[in-house]
Amino acid sequence: MTGLRIVAAGGIALAAGGAPTPLDPLYAGLGLKAPRRSSRFTQLALLGARLATAMLAAPLDAGSALYLATGAGNVADTAAVLEGLYRLGEAPMPFAFINVSSNVAGFQIAAALGLNGSNLTVSRRDSALGAALELALADAGSGRLAQAMIGAVDECCWPLDRHRERLQIAADTPLGEGSHWLAVDQTATVPLGVINAVVRLAARPALEAWLRTLPPTQALVPATPEDSELVHALAPRDHPIWTPTTAANGYYASAEMQTLCAALTRLERPFALLGKTTAGWQAIQISRT
């Protein structure tokens, strides 16, 4: 299968405090303004994409594709609309109703970056990033993908205790939000790395057998801090493990993309990003050229 040649990786992660972190100053730091009448989810998504594309030597071609993965989507606006409908009996305002759709963010990013290629949003609670990468790998394998942006975005929703209930996580779990993106250029001769496959393993024996096939030069990278103990327990003896310090940013569904971006830019060897899913385990395999 043709791999995805990554030429830039970056984004932003924010720890959730008592109130949302203002995004306008972060846009101003890039010399930009946040898009008007857009949701926080859209603004966060575009901010991360802007930070990633700022690392490119040249803009992506207009025909580049865009893949956006999200675990919870535009959850804040959706919660507000449903609150108004069912608790207050109020019809949503037009822009609030439009912003409930998570694919609005992909449209806004494409418009801002001047992209008119295929534009896909993968919204699923578990393994959204893996699914988006599988779609991009399929398009690359068929020759339909030359350049692309691949992102993973999740916002937080206040009040935080309600959001933890919504996510079905422990009441003391630190929360966060983030937007991280990869730029793909299949003509690149010296990419940051090449994503070759998304491997799904349903049972622990299959995972252990797969781990034994990995060469000692390929590091294992826990997808999230929650996966670290598992990876250390299952890794073959003396196998290299690299764990970035991303826990301080808090939990959000697509946090594994933050780890992937960190490993691509800071780890100089091939690696497999390994994490637990509801169906078993998922590994994203990255080689170096």
Claim to verify: residue 17 and residue 153 sit in the same structural domain:
yes
Q: 126, 159, 185: which is the final residue of a domain? A: 185
Q: What is the mean pLDDT of residues 27-37?
A: 91
Q: What is the mean pLDDT of residues 9-30?
A: 96
Contact (CB, 8 A) for 284 and 273:
yes
The string of DSSP letters for the chain reads -PPEEEEEEEEEEEE--SSPPPSHHHHHHTT--PPTT--HHHHHHHHHHHHHHTT-SSPPPTT-EEEEEESS-SHHHHHHHHHHHHTS--PPPHHHHHHTSTHHHHHHHHHHHT--S-EEEEE-SS-HHHHHHHHHHHHHHTT--SEEEEEEEE---SSHHHHHHHHT--TT--BEEEEEEEEEETT-SS-SEEEEEEEEE-SHHHHHHHHHTS-TTSEEEESSGGGHHHHHHHSPTT--B-----GGG-B-TTTHHHHHHHHHHH--S-EEEEEEETTEEEEEEEE--
Answer whether 0.85 is exceeded by the pTM: yes
Give the pLDDT of residue 243: 87
Claim to verify: residue 16 and residue 54 sit in the same structural domain:
yes
- Which are the contacts of 197, defined by CB distance < 8 A and separation ≥ 6? 1, 3, 137, 284, 285
- Spell 43-67 as b/e; 16+ CB within 10 A means b: bbbbbbbbbbbeeeeeebeeebbbb
- Which are the contacts of 286, defined by CB distance < 8 A and separation ≥ 6? 193, 194, 195, 196, 260, 263, 264, 270, 271, 272, 273
> Exposure of 233 by Cβ count < 10 A (0-12 exposed, 13-18 middle, 19+ buried)?
exposed
Claim to verify: residue 209 and residue 167 sit in the same structural domain:
no
Q: Per residue in 110-150, pLDDT tens? A: 999 999 999 999 999 889 999 999 999 999 999 999 999 99
Claim to verify: residue 139 and residue 248 sit in the same structural domain:
no
Claim to verify: residue 197 and residue 174 sit in the same structural domain:
no
Statement: residue 287 has pLDDT above 80: yes
Q: Per residue in 218-273, pLDDT tens? A: 999 999 988 999 899 999 888 999 987 665 689 999 999 999 999 999 999 999 99
Residue positions counted in the chain: 289
Between the alpha carbon of residue 221 and those of residues 17, 71, 83, 261, 281, the distances in Å are 28, 21, 40, 12, 13
Give the pLDDT of residue 36: 84
Q: Per residue in 157-194, pLDDT tens? A: 999 999 999 999 999 999 999 999 999 999 999 999 99
Claim to verify: residue 169 and residue 263 sit in the same structural domain:
no
Domain containing 79 equals: 4-185
Q: 185, 216, 238: which is the final residue of a domain? A: 185
Q: Strand 65-70 relative to strand 147-154: parallel, antiparallel, unpaired?
A: parallel
Between these two residues, 244 and 212, which has the higher pLDDT value?
212
Claim to verify: residue 148 and residue 202 sit in the same structural domain:
no
Claim to verify: residue 131 and residue 229 sit in the same structural domain:
no
Number of domains in the chain: 2
Question: Which region among 82-91, 133-142, 205-214, 234-243 has the lowest average model confidence (pLDDT)?
Answer: 82-91
Claim to verify: residue 59 and residue 180 sit in the same structural domain:
yes
Give the pLDDT of residue 1: 60
